[in-house]
């Protein structure tokens, strides 16, 4: 079996972001100084949109509340509303950007369900295109992402500014 080494994933596994800080990747300061580097595309009052640094496909976004919680039932009505509003906005931005044929939208609760970050709930918005599952993930368990994250983030951030 061939191996594809991805040492940059250790930052994620060890709970460190790019600046070496420990902690939850979804817990943000009020300051927007690091939004570009942290791949934050849009901030609402109670939730925000961030790019997935380890995407399932190009344009994979996540919507998370500012409040650190793993329990959906603990969200208040305003937080739930904003998460769904930003999910729809993220979908609209992705449609404008890449004209996907469909979307996967949802949350993974618990490690067995695929959650990489279990203690801060977040919703995935994953654009899908006909034929986007080719031989690489099937035979080699490798995903091919055609555009660098920072390039995609720059384009999507501008579309968020235009559409919101």
Annotated binding-site positions for substrate? 52, 114-117, 124
Place of tokens 């801060």: 120
CA 151 to chain centre: 15
Cross-strand pairs, 22: 16
User: Is residue 149 a contact partner of residue 54, using CB atoms and an 8 Å limit?
Assistant: no
Annotated binding site, which residues?
52, 114-117, 124
Say whether 42 is catalytic.
Answer: no
Out of 42, 68, 122, 148, which one is annotated catalytic?
122
DSSP-derived secondary structure for 52-101: -SS-SSTT-EEEEESS--S-GGGS-HHHHHHHHHHHHHHHHHHHHHH--S
Active site residues: 122
């Amino acid at each position: 079996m061939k191996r594809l080494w991805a040492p940059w994933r250790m930052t994620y596994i060890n709970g460190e972001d790019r600046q070496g800080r420990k902690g939850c990747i979804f817990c943000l300061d009020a300051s927007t100084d690091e939004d570009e580097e942290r791949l934050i595309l849009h901030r609402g009052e109670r939730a925000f949109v961030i790019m997935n640094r380890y995407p399932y496909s190009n344009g994979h976004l996540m919507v998370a509340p500012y409040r650190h919680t793993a329990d959906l039932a603990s969200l208040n009505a305003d937080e739930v509303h904003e998460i769904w509003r930003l999910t729809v906005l993220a979908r609209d931005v992705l449609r404008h950007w890449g004209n996907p044929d469909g979307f996967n939208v949802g949350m993974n609760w618990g490690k067995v369900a695929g959650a990489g970050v279990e203690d801060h709930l977040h919703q995935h918005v994953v654009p899908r295109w006909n034929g986007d599952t080719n031989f690489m993930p099937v035979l080699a368990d490798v995903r091919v992402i055609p555009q660098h994250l920072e390039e995609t983030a720059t384009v999507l951030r501008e579309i968020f500014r235009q559409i919101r």
